[in-house]
Structure formats: structure tokens, C-alpha cells
Structure 1
Amino acid sequence: MWVRRLFLVPIVLGFLALAAWAYFVRPVAPPDARLACHYGAYEFDGGRVAAVTPTSGPQSLRITFLDGQTWRLDPAPGDDTLFGMKEGWTDRAWPGDQVTFGSCAAGTMTIEHHGPKFLTGKRQTLDTTDATFESHGLKLAGRLVMPRLEGAIPVAVLVHGSERDSAILFNRLQYLLPASGIGVFVYDKRGTGKSEGSYSQDFNLLSDDAAAALKKARELAGALASEVGFQGGSQAGWIEPLAARKANADFVVVGYGLAESPLAEDREEVFDDLRTAGYGEDVIAKAREITDATGRVMASDFTQGFDGLDAVRAKYEKEPWYPKIEGEFTGDFLQNPNWLLKILGPIFDVGTSWEHDPVPALKAYDKPHLWILAGRDSSAPSANTLRILREVQASRPNLDIVMFPTADHGIIEFEEKNSERLETRFSEGYFQLVADWILFKDAKVQVPGPVVYSGKAAAPSEPPQP
């Protein structure tokens, strides 16, 4: 038996090395360069605005309207100008729905949607300036995108989430915001796209990068910028408040982030899954013992806490709810032996600031600040974040909060089928809210559904003057 186990060790290690290579290198087919001329902001009949960006597929595109509608565009065989349409991130398509692009020089597109309904769009002309800037000795790649307008306008530095893709290629807001009268500076985070360095989730380091990006944006925009701030989603919620004080940002916009630590993100995902499965607070209390144990292992960089992990495994492994535990990492910890975690953990370590407390930075930032939350967020459950932000808001009347109650992570709407979520579109009003708030610093939503917690309303009223 031991001979067999020893024989299996190099095989297992080989698979681990292969998995690490696939995870970190992740070779994917780049977007088709022939389609790059179609990327951009388009204005359609009736004033509708959309962004066309590449997808992770080699020849596919995605169109996203400012109102949140979005389709994946897949090329027709043998025709570089004709594309079929699939709703959201589903495989749902309707016969006859298609998009036709004009020549690169023409910059036009026509959408045929549900029969005889046509939309014709024209690509807008935006001024773009590619640049590099330095942070901790690395050269990072960025791009300033400005609409052709008279006078100074706000500029938003687009801060990344945890993705490993090039933001300069894929971030749709570099088109949607300029089409709404806002300049943007988009950059590839370290270790992605054209930026140097290794991918990292060290929030202090990444906030230094974001602060350097904002400094570069101010330099490039000059007198054309009335103010320069941050906009980003998910992991950006930890990075932006740190960077805002370092760079003296004029505003901060965070979408679907957390006002808790990354360890809390794992914990709340576990609790959310168990509640969805019908378990009550008695089970949640037991699950908390498990997430506390897995959190200690993770925060120690896989050097401590394994005795405690063994103890909760033995205590609860026969419980009916135990196999349902997932989370960011807790489910994996429960399903794999300690020796494997000790090998695999350091291989996949990217310096994540697991115990980062975002509240001090939130309280310290005293300029206009907007948080947008998803009420049914499966990746970053938002209930505790809403509570924390409301507490901060009492002393920060320039902090606005908007909750999209039916949205998942990314402020994406979905349908449920066989316990699976089919993502269909971005929430109506989301992109317009981001643009309007940056322009006017007033949290107003023009569609029914979202819940607005205005900072002005939360602030205690001043006593009457004698």
C-alpha cells in the first residue's frame, strides 16, 4: 500500500504543476485583430448608446447598451461582418436576430432584432492617448479616452477587479462613460495585458498602482479634467478607498464590492448557500466554526491552523449540510487532505490581503463616494456591507448607496432554472446611475426597483440656529 502511495506522489505533483501552469499562464486565444476596428462607442437612432468590446473567444464580440441590455455576437461562417446574437451570457437566440457591421472606415452597424425591428448605429470618434506610468519600479500600460466636448469634464480612473484580463481590451466603460460625457483612464493591472510585473491581490500594492494611474490621468487630461476620481467593481472596493487618500481622488464609485475582509467574503458565501438550501441559524452557527478554522489556515499562508481544521472536519463531516459548503475556498479545504493544501496553497498564492479591514479607509475618505450593491450577490453577499456602509454614512453625508435588489455580482440580472442562474443582462439603470452620479453627485435612479440610501438623508440634521 505504501509503495503504491509513494508511486502516486510524483503523479499527483505533476498534475499540480500542470494545474498551476494553467491557472497562472492561462493561454487563451486573443481577440481577432481584424475585428478591433469595430470596438468602440456607438450612437443609435433615438439616442441610444452602446459599447462594442471583444470577448474571451477568438472571434466573438459583445455589445452592451447603456440601459443594460447586452448580447454576445458570434460571427457567421465565412462572413466577417455578419454576427448572430445571443442574449446576455446565455445560449438563447431568436431566428433572424443579427448584427451587420459596415467597413472599418464607415464605422457603422445595423441590428435586426425580433423581426423587422432595425437599429442603425454610428461609431463615435473619441480621442485616445496610450501611455505608460510607473509604480514600484514597474511600467504599467494605460489609456486616456476623452469625448470631443467643449470645456472641462470629470475623468474616471477605471480600477480592476480580480480578473486577469487586459482592461484596455475588455472594459466596456471606457466607451460607455465617454459616450455619456465623462473621460476615462483605463489601465492593465500589474501582470496583465501590456503591464509588467506579476499578478497580485495585495491591496496596498494595488492601491499604490491605482494612485499612480490617477496621477498619470491628471497629467494627461490637464485642463480638460474638472475632477479625477476612481470607478471600479468587486475587488476595487478594497483598493479604491486606500488609493483615494494616497492620490487625493475627487470621487470614488464602487460597484458590488465588500466593506468586510476577503475572509468575510468566503464566510458569507458559505452562509448564503446554506440559507438558500433551507438551513437555519443553528446550522449557520456551526458553519461559522468551520469558516473560522479555514480562515486561520488561509490567513497564515498555510503554515498554521491545520489541527483546528481537522477538528471541525471530524466534528461535522457527517452532518447533512456539510457537503453543501462551498464559499471562496472553504469547500475546497474540507474536501482535500492537509498535505495537499500545504503543497497547493503556496503554489496558488497571489499575496491576497485576506485580513484587510476596509472600514478605516472608508471612514477616512471625506469626498463624494458612491457604492452600488447587488441584492442577490452570490459572490460577495451584500447584507453586512449594506449595514456597515449605513453606519459609516451617518458621519459621511457625501456617501451614497444604491441597492439593485434582484441583481447578482456585476449588477447582472438573471433567471433561475434548475437551481442555475442564467445571466441575461445588466440591471436597467445601473450604467446610467454611474454616469449621472459622476456628473452630478446625486444618487437618482430613473427606473423602478433600485433602493437609494442617500447620504444627505442619513446625516443627522443640524440643530436650529438661534
Structure 2
Amino acid sequence: MNTSVLRTTALLTALLASAAAVAAEPAAAAKAPDARCHAGAYRLDDDSVVSVGTIDKPEQLRWRLIDGRTGKLTPKDGAWVSTRGWSDRSDGVRVSFGACDEGRIQYEGHAGKKIKFDIVDTKFEGKGVSLRGRLVLPQGSGPVPVIVMVHGSENYSGVDSYYQQHLFPAEGVGVFVYDKRGTGGSSGKYSQNFHDLSDDASAALREAQRLGGARIGRIGFHGGSQGGWVAPLAASKTPQAQFVFVGFGLADSVLAEDRDQVVLDLRAAGFGDAQTLRKAREVSDVTGLIASTNGKRGWEALDALREKYQGEPWWKSLKGEYSGLIALHTREESMAEMAKYDYEVSWDYDPMPVLKTLNTPQLWVLGGDDVEAPPQETQKRLIALGQAGRPITSVVFPQADHGILEFEKDAKGERQHTRTADGYVRMQLDWVKDGTLKHWPYGTAKRLAGPK
């Protein structure tokens, strides 16, 4: 799964994602075979598990291990070429598959067989939409814990793409995946309206319970990025939810995400003095007003700020989620882009009232070096909530980026994501199974607050 799908707002994301996809994925050979039949989890002859899932193109795949190592697989000259993480640098990992109907893999010299799961596909009703879903359980008759996958801001099929439906059942955790409204096999318009999306998530959990019956043990929501706003809100509407997991989300507003990104971007460009950041905050407050009113308010104030600051050296380094897009372009250009990406974003949503009152146990995992969802304010809020006795456990992987991804910097200083942080997947599985984190250490993770 490409990390760009984890962004939370639509303006700059939509512009960058298409360019990034072109740059990141090499052109496939003509008439390349459809490799989707190989998606699944494979038990290797050393009893380890490797999961294989689809990514951007039907002829490409991604392998993953429970420790977070991963690579992209591209067919070339009758073989599979693996590249490290989300980079295009070869990692030397050797992978091959049998015929589609054989369900066999060779991974780094180990033979493996595809694991069989109990799988049920379904259609169910969300809030005014028909949603496509899938329940994937380990084979058997006894109850198992189940996660309901709550989407981030991605606009593609979760049923076709989420790797958790392969890896987690191989480790004893069931998964219910569904296509969010306006994507994949679901009806409706793609939306970032957290209230509608939380209603859909609530319906998804009830559908998972209906399908699984007595097989459903502990059940709760699992949300990443934008799902960090939606999953707790869904739990507040769903008494049946027994837990909420949030990865790399924010306990702050959508507007705050852009504001904090602007600060990080300016500091990275060498403009971190307090006076410059104060001026940039003036700009992000106004661009937030423009974005949140769909361009109906704020332009006169932005014109005044341009007059004051556009001659200063930091001005052209404005970025953020959308502030740079608006501030560095004309009103007409910005409005044209906003017209393309009107996704009904819940700009005014404040997550704190839900977090202060929700009695459902939560685990939040943050990336300490997350540049898409800067975590500093969220860390402070989660620590305070935990200290106030709320049922929230919070953890940070200090050097991880968005997605809890480790990275290296290339010659241009740009991040190349190399793997998921070791311990992140194990932590999720442990906590979903019984609500505890009893197998420390989890890689480099540090506990911020909450019960042990």
C-alpha cells in the first residue's frame, strides 16, 4: 500500500499523488500478466508467514513480513524483481510463485503454501449507500478477535488492497474490510465527511458480527491516518465496539494538520525562527479559512498578507497540506483546484469531546518523525488524557514517519521509505487479542501514557 494514501485532506494530496505514482512505479512491460491471484498469506517451511498483496498495478505485488520488512515485486524477464520498501532500489530478495491454482511460493529459499481462511463477501447498507465488504477469519469454529478496518483518506478499494486481511488472520486475528463510499464496489460519492464515514464504519462492525456470529470474539475498529478521526467517532456510536486502534492519527483538527506541516516545512528549509513562524501562522490561519469555506471567505486577508510577506525569503517555502497551494497561486487557480476536489471534508471536526468521554479502550501509535501528521500536539493531548484516567494507551516510534515507516534520505534529501517499523505489527496483534502490550520491547517504541 503506497503511503500517499494515508494523507488526511484532499487538496494538495490529490495533486501530488498522481505525480508520485508515476515517479514511484516503473512502467510495466506490455501485456504483463495479472498477478492478483497470488495475493494471500503463505506459511513457509520454517513456520514463518509472508503476506502478498496487490498495489497500484495488477501486475505488481508487495510482500510483507510480521517484523515490518517489505518489498515491491515487479515482473521482469520471466522473474520477479524485489525492491526495498517503497524505493526502486533492489533488495536482492528472491521470490517466485507457482501457477495461480497451486497457491505456492518460494521466498528466500523457503517453500510456502497459501493459507486457507474462512472468507465471506457481502453487500451491506451504510448511511444511504450500499457498501461492499469482506470478512476474513482463520479457519476453525471457535471465536477470534476481529478488527474492522476504517479507511484513511485513500480513494481506492480497501477490499482489494488492505494487507491486514492476509497477514492478520495468519496470526489469529480476523479482519473485516470494506470499500468506503464512492470507491471500489461501494456506491455513493467519495467523501471525507467524518460523520457519514463513522456511520458507515458502525454499519460495517454490525455486518461483521452478523456474518461471523459465534466466531466473533473481541471486536473493534482499526483506523489509520484520517481513520484516527473516524474510528473513535464510530466507536462512540457503536456500543458493540470493544476497542479502538489508531495508527498515525491526530487528536487535533484537520486545520491543525496543515498548520503544523507548514511549521515543519519551514524549519526544514532553514526558516525556523519564532518571528517567521509567527508570520506563517497568520498565513495558515487565512488559508484554513479559505479551504474550510470552499473559497467563500478569506481572499482579501490573504491578499493583504501577500503584500506584507511575499518578498521575504521564507515565502516560497510555504507548503503544508494546502497552504502553499493556496498562498502561492492565484485565486482563480486555487478555486479551480478546489472545484475538482470537493470532498465534503469535516473541517470543523474537533476530536477532543469524543476522546474525553469515550469509554472504549484505545491504543494510539504515533510516528515521532511524521511529517504528514505532525504528532507533537497529539502526543501532549494523549498524555494528558491518559493521566486524567481515560482508557487511552499511547505509544510513539521516535524515528518513524507517517504509516509508522522507517526511511532513509536520498541525495536530494527526500525520504525513501524502507520498511514498516519493527514491532508495529506485533504490537497491534497483541493489543487486539487481549487489550494488553505484554511483549515489550516492540522495536524502538516508547510508551507515552496509559495502562501497561
TM-score by length of structure 1 reads: 0.87
Which residue, 414, 419, 440 being the options, matches 2:407? Answer: 414
Which residue, 193, 197, 222 being the options, matches 1:231? Answer: 222
Distance 1:405 1:375 in 2: 4
Which residue, 254, 261, 265 being the options, matches 2:257? Answer: 265
What secondary structure is seen at the aligned counterpart in 1 of 2:46? Answer: helix
Identify the range of structure 1 (439-448 vs 399-408) with the bigger mean alpha-carbon deviation. 439-448
1:284-433 correspondence runs (5 A): 284-417=277-410, 418-433=412-427
User: Whose relative contact order is higher, 1 or 2, with alpha carbons under 8 Å and at least 6 apart?
Assistant: 2
Distance 2:340 2:91 in 1: 45
What secondary structure is seen at the aligned counterpart in 1 of 2:334? Answer: helix
1:13-412 correspondence runs (5 A): 34-77=34-77, 79=78, 82-94=79-91, 97-112=93-108, 118-248=109-239, 249-278=241-270, 279-412=272-405
Q: Is the 8 A contact 2:46 2:110 kept in 1?
A: no
In structure 2, what residue type is equivalent to 1:69?
R
After TM superposition, give the deviation of residue 215 of structure 1 in Å: 0.9
What secondary structure is seen at the aligned counterpart in 2 of 1:177? Answer: helix
Q: Is the 8 A contact 1:160 1:235 kept in 2?
A: yes
Q: Is the 8 A contact 2:40 2:51 kept in 1?
A: yes
Distance 1:241 1:301, change over 3 A: same
In structure 2, what residue type is equivalent to 1:364?
T
> Over alpha carbons, which structure has the higher Rg?
1
The one-character-per-residue Cα deviations of 1:291-348 (angstroms, maximum 9, x if unpaired) are 0110111111210111111111111111111111101100011111113323432332
The one-character-per-residue Cα deviations of 1:355-394 (angstroms, maximum 9, x if unpaired) are 2101111112112100010011111000111111111112
User: How many residues are paired up?
Assistant: 427
Q: Is the 8 A contact 1:55 1:62 kept in 2?
A: yes
Distance 2:437 2:397 in 1: 13
For structure 1, the 5+ residue unaligned runs are 1-18, 113-117, 458-466
Distance 1:429 1:121 in 2: 24
Q: Percent identity?
A: 42
Distance 1:235 1:106 in 2: 38
In structure 2, what residue type is equivalent to 1:455?
G
After TM superposition, give the deviation of residue 397 of structure 1 in Å: 4.6
TM-score by length of structure 2 reads: 0.90
Q: Is the 8 A contact 1:161 1:235 kept in 2?
A: yes
Distance 2:161 2:449 in 1: 32
After TM superposition, give the deviation of residue 402 of structure 1 in Å: 1.1
Distance 2:315 2:50 in 1: 45
What secondary structure is seen at the aligned counterpart in 2 of 1:286? Answer: helix
Distance 1:425 1:46 in 2: 22
Alpha-carbon RMSD? 2.3
What secondary structure is seen at the aligned counterpart in 1 of 2:68? Answer: coil
Partner of 1:439 in structure 2? 433
Distance 1:393 1:447 in 2: 20
Q: Is the 8 A contact 1:400 1:443 kept in 2?
A: no
Distance 1:70 1:129 in 2: 27
Distance 1:45 1:454, change over 3 A: farther
Distance 1:282 1:34 in 2: 55
Distance 1:179 1:58 in 2: 24
After TM superposition, give the deviation of residue 103 of structure 1 in Å: 2.4
Q: Is the 8 A contact 1:366 1:396 kept in 2?
A: no
Which residue, 441, 447, 450 being the options, matches 2:445? Answer: 450
After TM superposition, give the deviation of residue 247 of structure 1 in Å: 1.5
In structure 1, what residue type is equivalent to 2:434?
F
After TM superposition, give the deviation of residue 214 of structure 1 in Å: 0.7
Q: Is the 8 A contact 1:149 1:181 kept in 2?
A: no
After TM superposition, give the deviation of residue 150 of structure 1 in Å: 4.5
Distance 1:174 1:134 in 2: 21
What secondary structure is seen at the aligned counterpart in 1 of 2:451? Answer: helix
For structure 2, the 5+ residue unaligned runs are 1-13
Distance 1:447 1:191 in 2: 37
What secondary structure is seen at the aligned counterpart in 1 of 2:35? Answer: helix
After TM superposition, give the deviation of residue 46 of structure 1 in Å: 3.0
Distance 2:180 2:250 in 1: 20
In structure 2, what residue type is equivalent to 1:331?
G
